[in-house]
Chain A
Amino acid sequence: DGGITQSPKYLFRKEGQNVTLSCEQNLNHDAMYWYRQDPGQGLRLIYYSQIVNDFQKGDIAEGYSVSREKKESFPLTVTSAQKNPTAFYLCASGRDSTNYGYTFGSGTRLTVV
């Protein structure tokens, strides 16, 4: 799907449970990003990584964690500390400069049950 794959497409989480969203890219992009999208709102940055084994907090990092052990992969864990996790999560990747924009994955819709 455009070289960046997110899975699963739909995910249901019980209260107090941690869940992990997968993001894999084969575009050889250095940078990867996680955004959260709520209905009627824009894209808010959760975490981003410019290089393997390094990542930075975005604007709404609380209750989330990430890892970047491989260039191709940037999984996002939604922990039980995230009190309102129901949202649409988008992963993106980019080249070594923002001047080429992002390629987005198809998203994961997370619902708390």
Chain B
Amino acid sequence: SAVISQKPSRDICQRGTSLTIQCQVDSQVTMMFWYRQQPGQSLTLIATANQGSEATYESGFVIDKFPISRPNLTFSTLTVSNMSPEDSSIYLCSAGTDYEQYFGPGTRLTVT
């Protein structure tokens, strides 16, 4: 198994600003992903974080809004740029190997 930690755990931000969320895994993993979970909803996959190359984004998500970095096998960041109240959500990082994915506790973001 893998233990995932995220920073910050929560934040309140003003519209128009950006927030970078960090995800750290306690062991080397092949896959890392970023999800968004809006209030009362299921999880939506934002992108696959690829080590050393550009992330692969799902339909409806773009790099300019959600830039992602993954400099090594255990660390990734997601930036939520030019925030609006609609970006208020929980953002979750996950990591795994061939079959199992492990999820972080999430970052609860409120945009005012």
A binds B: no
